[in-house]
Structure 1
């Protein structure tokens, strides 16, 4: 036996780390977090845009809506208390033409129902907030949207956990399966050896479905990857964007479209795309494509023919590999932008999107499943980072602690 723990968390991303933090606060110890990478947050948690969303897009009553705004407020407080980078810039969502005005108004209704501070503004007000943004006469201003440095937050939480002496992190430890159950404990197989634990939490992000399947859960779900690529404004042009400028999205899909974001350190990024990818870590053109590519391609093909929303994404997004197409998409949001203003960046991310394989539908909310001695978080998509400090507490009290008390 290589390791033992009372509570084993699979995944050292934002969900795994914040849950461990809340477990400590609730008086639990002997916690082990494993991750297949050599450091925390190597994938979605450390590669996202850093935007703290403000509950605008999500259906009222959904887990995403319930956790987003409260998570936003807590994350801001966390950064302020610890002196971590934080930009309270707000953001504008602009209607690019009159056909988008009804959706913009619907977003205003959703955001208001979710408790966000938003207002519909005209072009004069838009110019005062974001001088280079343009609209078809109406935009939505989100007061609570902010920007953080995700890696700085991950590093800070990890330091907290290790300083407690009650949490250990084991890297280069890929989950390989549930070997067998022995008594009331679980025996989890990893590349770093077998681990005996009393309770298991699946916070594996892009591999959440794989881990859940090993426990006999999530059989109706499969994660498929979407690639987010970015461009960047040259430093001398960064001043043209004060905060964030977003388009009106198709709210039937879980993607927000190419947008401008001023990062916590002053860089301005354009993106991301939502291009169907062929690997859960397919960040480059070919890198990250592995033996799973065929099954991902097959699932994409089924969705393409059976799901209109996915088909629209699959036909539209790959065009953004073309700089001209990407540029033209971004240019619709601003008054002035030249191809010479933009430079390449290695920044890229993968959004692991959960699909209901029986319904052939993209799942639009967080999914939580479990057994007597395990809890599994599936579809930890945006705004998972924003929501994390609230979501993890909800996860603890509703899905973890009641089971721990029975062990």
Structure 2
């Protein structure tokens, strides 16, 4: 008879992994769950390094995982925070067109938002000023269900709730090997510990494709890291922005453009600028990890992506290297801003899944293998949607158990 250490191993202590553990304990009480996180605490990477926006779901293709989970997740996130006393605010946001060529795209967003069941209000220049007196634009839409929160705090609370229900969250436990023999999934961590489980969930974020390959699965995608570079308004200029202000995004790219975000702490974050990172955890320009860089450069999809979008990429690099160019992008929305108003803020890294043909994966992507579930693409709005995503992954892994 096999001696199992637990029923389900979850790899990754970000908000999706912890939400999955929480969901399993609620859906199947008594199921033994162990979460393995290589860092010394939860939410060290994507979860804890973003602008903290509770997204409404307006951008996403109707019927997609992103659209369904974001709309549902935003409402659930607000309810969760209220129930557990986590600071949050439903601020609403403006999406502002500053050029005539953006007006058709803005109108398309109105239609998409309404198809996704999101309350959307169309605004003219005078109405923009009622919400954001210092912002200038030709037209805008107001999305009332958008908010702000510290997702790191949410992740910490999910870890506590999962542990209260009997799960074990182990930090400093980097997974080095994964094997499966019959009904047993075995994992070895960096310190030599071996754990045997009946099923495994891969929520490793920036390393999800690597973990899949450790498990003997071809993920069919490669994670290409993009560094998101932020600035903050200096303390004496935070009055320039009341809430959340976004440009009209280009639908050809998964990035939303440089936007203005007053966080739950009252600081105004501006960004991100998106450039390829030279390491999967490359939060600084000088951070280079040869193995990560070789993986990116050796992947045909990276070169095809660069060939398809080199003009867009040059603009991002220019704004990365030139504070004045970055400021010029901000001034499209907020004309009063000067380079002296901006101070560097911590960067984040987005785990972007890229297909071999250079296509950017547009939706959350799940894969399965016997007794395993892999979450292979979960960028923004994954934090917003973490509660319904966790339930979906829990449903899938519990089906593997039975």
Structure 2 length normalisation: TM-score?
A: 0.95
Q: CA deviation at 1:301?
A: 5.2
Q: Note the alpha carbon deviations across 1:152-192, whole angstroms, 9 max, x for none.
A: 1112112222223x1111111112122x3344111112213
Secondary structure class of the residue paired with 1:188: strand
Corresponding residue for residue 105 of structure 2: 103
Distance 2:89 2:311 in 1: 34
Distance 2:3 2:239 in 1: 53
Corresponding residue for residue 87 of structure 1: 89
- Flag the 1:58–1:312 CA change in 2: closer, same or farther, 3 A: farther
Secondary structure class of the residue paired with 1:58: coil
Corresponding residue for residue 180 of structure 2: 181
Distance 1:298 1:132 in 2: 46
Distance 2:118 2:223 in 1: 30
Corresponding residue for residue 60 of structure 1: 62
Corresponding residue for residue 283 of structure 2: 283
Between stretches 386-395 and 264-273, larger displacement belongs to 386-395
Secondary structure class of the residue paired with 1:384: coil
Corresponding residue for residue 148 of structure 1: 149
Work out whether residues 228 and 348 of structure 1, in 8 Å CA contact, stay in contact via their aligned partners in 2.
Answer: yes
Work out whether residues 305 and 358 of structure 2, in 8 Å CA contact, stay in contact via their aligned partners in 1.
Answer: no
Corresponding residue for residue 335 of structure 1: 335
Work out whether residues 277 and 285 of structure 2, in 8 Å CA contact, stay in contact via their aligned partners in 1.
Answer: no
Q: Note the alpha carbon deviations across 1:196-230, whole angstroms, 9 max, x for none.
A: 11110000001011111223334421010000011
Q: Which runs of 5+ in 2 are unaligned?
A: none
Task: Please state if 1:302 is matched with 2:289.
Answer: no
Task: Please state if 1:353 is matched with 2:352.
Answer: yes
The alignment of Structure 1 onto Structure 2 pairs a total of residues equal to 397
Q: CA deviation at 1:305?
A: 5.3
Work out whether residues 37 and 173 of structure 1, in 8 Å CA contact, stay in contact via their aligned partners in 2.
Answer: yes
- Flag the 1:50–1:305 CA change in 2: closer, same or farther, 3 A: closer
Structure 1 length normalisation: TM-score?
A: 0.94
* 1:3-402 to 2 correspondences below 5 Å: 4-26=5-27, 27-135=29-137, 137-164=138-165, 166-178=166-178, 180-192=179-191, 193-299=193-299, 302-304=303-305, 306=307, 308=308, 310-321=309-320, 322-345=322-345, 347-357=346-356, 359-397=357-395, 399-402=396-399
Q: CA deviation at 1:304?
A: 4.4
Q: Which runs of 5+ in 1 are unaligned?
A: none
Q: Note the alpha carbon deviations across 1:234-280, whole angstroms, 9 max, x for none.
A: 11211221111111111121000111100001000101111111110
Corresponding residue for residue 404 of structure 1: 401
Secondary structure class of the residue paired with 1:176: strand
Work out whether residues 367 and 378 of structure 1, in 8 Å CA contact, stay in contact via their aligned partners in 2.
Answer: yes
Work out whether residues 89 and 242 of structure 1, in 8 Å CA contact, stay in contact via their aligned partners in 2.
Answer: no
Root-mean-square deviation (CA, aligned residues, Å) is 1.8
- Flag the 1:218–1:255 CA change in 2: closer, same or farther, 3 A: farther
Between stretches 23-32 and 249-258, larger displacement belongs to 23-32
Work out whether residues 55 and 74 of structure 2, in 8 Å CA contact, stay in contact via their aligned partners in 1.
Answer: yes
Secondary structure class of the residue paired with 2:283: coil
